[in-house]
Amino acid sequence: MDVATYGSDNAHSLASTRGIALQRPFQVFVIAADLLLILISYAAASGFYSAMTTSISDGTSVGAGLIVGVLFVSIAYSRGVYDTHRALRLVWQLRKTVVIWAASLMILAVSAFLLKSTDNLSRGTVIIFAGVGGVGLMSLRFAWQVALGSSLTKGRLVDRKVALLSLKPLDFTSNRFKDLRKNGFDVVRHYMIGADGSDDGWKRAIRDIIRQSRSADVDEYLLAIDWNELPMLRKLGPYLRAMPQPIRLLPDDPIADLVARPFVPVSGTVAIEIQRPPLSIFERLQKRCLDVGVALFALVLLTPLVLTVAILIKLDSPGAIIFRQSRRGFNGKPFEIWKFRTMSVCENGDTIRQATRRDARITRIGRFLRMTSIDELPQLWNVLRGDMSLVGPRPHAVAHDNYYDELISKYVYRHHMKPGLTGWAQVNGFRGETPTIDLMEKRVEYDVWYVGNWSIWLDLKIMARTASAVLFQEAY
């Protein structure tokens, strides 16, 4: 058996007790911050409502706020919300926060009803408290991303000490391992078993690891298994059960893609969903409500900007203000997309050339509009009409659809969802020109992943990341 430390150059920093000593104080700090914010929110809500109604606040305000605060942090702690390695999962954190916050308020309301104490609670105060506290708790999660992300990157914070088990040498520079430290995992040992390939060899190796595990100063073991090594996992299973620490699989990309998919019970076993069904009626309703609400708000808010841009386009060059082009939407249904005109030409035929860097066809104002994505604003009208969604695969010209459909096998799968103003590919760097087939294949890969993994939380995440993508990614 080969027993090695994880990265000899970094062995000292990986086993640093300084990071481990900071882990628990961090959890205590964020729990205290949540509890304090809830108490302050209730006191502020009570004071504000009392001022609005000229009534006098009583002592039940603090007591009710304390009850909700204790309920929230207790449920959150039991659900792993304060685990350091989960703190950077922003969408997961926001989803858990909303659900636990609603549950805490519901428990307060039900308890007050059963104890006949509703007369001591102000409905106005509770409603204001629900809004202020919820927004405050979600804002704290955004603050965690900055503070915790910086601490983990600099190695000042460690959540769990782990040991790696593998059947062969590992490439610690790969994406599979290089971000472990940044997510709070301190890999202190690496055990390589089965190096000689014989049954007796790996059995002796695993027995040695089991003996060491009873006194090992690690929180859990990570088993790094590749797709072609899965038969070995079945052999290891009975032996690994003798270890007192938790054991988790650290899969390669094919396994990770498989286990991330939904499981459905079938005849006493399970079936893995390779391709998800179309969105349900409830899911379509969720997405449509988000589209209409945000699009209406954006159009009202951005009306002065839209009018200003329209005037500048008219003054800059002759031609229409709005450029219309045929695109394919959901299930390949054609529609007419709207954009601010940014070129001196309005191509909409069988052959359309993509815009490139320093393209002579782009007007002076058009170059700025394309760089800032302001030219896409008229598509809010497409969203309201139902042709497009706020988030989805970006629609391409029909000529480009016909071209790439013959070259990229999964290209047609993009049409299983409405096209969007922004998408998963765009916030991951694939925005603007795609001069090569490889780049288009990569964009399609992200679009297909989005279609297969859609959720309303994913849409919100993409919308949140779009602003920074527009600022820091270049398009022409």
Q: Domain spans of the chain?
A: 17-153, 158-260, 281-472
* Highest mean pLDDT of the ranges 128-132, 203-207, 468-472: 128-132
| Residues 238, 390: Cα–Cα separation, whole Å | 50
**Average of per-residue pLDDT across 3-16:** 37
Listed residue (1, 366, 306, 295) closest to 163, CA to CA: 1
Residue that the structure tokens 């990569």 belong to: 442
Q: 292 falls in which pLDDT band (50, 70, 90)? A: very high
| Residues 325, 401: Cα–Cα separation, whole Å | 13
Q: What's the one-letter identity of residue 68?
A: V
| Residues 216, 185: Cα–Cα separation, whole Å | 16
| Residues 253, 295: Cα–Cα separation, whole Å | 37
Q: 390 falls in which pLDDT band (50, 70, 90)? A: very high
Q: Residue 76 above 70 pLDDT? A: yes
Helix or strand run (H / E) with residue 460: helix 456-472
Residue that the structure tokens 């006194």 belong to: 215
Structure tokens given for 321: 């203000």
Q: Let me know: does 23 contact 159? Beta carbons within 8 Å.
A: yes
Q: Let me know: does 362 contact 370? Beta carbons within 8 Å.
A: yes
Return the minimum-mean-pLDDT range out of 173-177, 195-199, 251-255. 195-199
Listed residue (291, 252, 260, 289) closest to 276, CA to CA: 260
Q: What is the pLDDT of residue 420?
A: 93
The percentage of residues in the chain with a pLDDT greater than 70, rounded to a whole number, is 79
Q: Let me know: does 22 contact 157? Beta carbons within 8 Å.
A: yes
Q: 35 falls in which pLDDT band (50, 70, 90)? A: very high
Q: Let me know: does 254 contact 227? Beta carbons within 8 Å.
A: yes
Q: Residue 95 above 80 pLDDT? A: yes
**Average of per-residue pLDDT across 378-387:** 94
Residue-wise pLDDT tens digits, 411-421: 888 888 999 99
DSSP state of 442: H
| Residues 171, 34: Cα–Cα separation, whole Å | 40
Instruction: Please provide the CATH number assigned to the domain covering 158-260.
Output: 3.40.50.11900
Mean of all residue pLDDT scores within the chain: 79
**Average of per-residue pLDDT across 269-291:** 85
**Average of per-residue pLDDT across 188-211:** 76
Q: Residue 368 above 70 pLDDT? A: yes
Q: Residue 8 above 50 pLDDT? A: no
**Average of per-residue pLDDT across 144-163:** 66
Return the minimum-mean-pLDDT range out of 134-138, 347-351, 364-368, 372-376. 347-351
What are the distances in angstroms from CA 300 to CA 6, 313, 341? 56, 21, 21
Q: Let me know: does 434 contact 397? Beta carbons within 8 Å.
A: no
Q: Residue 12 above 50 pLDDT? A: no
Q: Residue 269 above 50 pLDDT? A: yes
**Average of per-residue pLDDT across 459-465:** 89
Q: What is the pLDDT of residue 20?
A: 37
- Higher-pLDDT residue of 85 and 99 is 99
Q: What is the pLDDT of residue 270?
A: 82
Q: What is the largest CA-CA distance in the chain?
A: 82
Q: 63 falls in which pLDDT band (50, 70, 90)? A: confident
Q: 15 falls in which pLDDT band (50, 70, 90)? A: very low
**Average of per-residue pLDDT across 365-389:** 89
* Highest mean pLDDT of the ranges 101-105, 142-146, 180-184: 101-105
Q: Is 314 helix (H, G, I), strand (E, B) or coil?
A: helix
**Average of per-residue pLDDT across 136-148:** 82
User: How does strand 2-4 pair with strand 185-192?
Assistant: antiparallel
Q: Residue 335 above 60 pLDDT? A: yes
Structure tokens given for 20: 């481990």
| Residues 173, 159: Cα–Cα separation, whole Å | 21
Q: How many CA atoms lie within 13 A of 163 on its CB side?
A: 24
Return the minimum-mean-pLDDT range out of 141-145, 153-157, 181-185, 206-210. 153-157
* Highest mean pLDDT of the ranges 83-87, 216-220, 255-259, 437-441: 437-441
Helices 90-114 and 456-472: angle between axes, nearest 10 degrees? 140
| Residues 471, 476: Cα–Cα separation, whole Å | 13
Q: 60 falls in which pLDDT band (50, 70, 90)? A: very low
Q: What is the pLDDT of residue 403?
A: 84
Q: What is the pLDDT of residue 475?
A: 52
Q: What is the pLDDT of residue 187?
A: 81
Structure tokens given for 415: 């049409």
Q: Residue 277 above 90 pLDDT? A: no
| Residues 320, 438: Cα–Cα separation, whole Å | 35
Q: Residue 474 above 50 pLDDT? A: yes
Q: Let me know: does 446 contact 421? Beta carbons within 8 Å.
A: no
**Average of per-residue pLDDT across 429-440:** 76
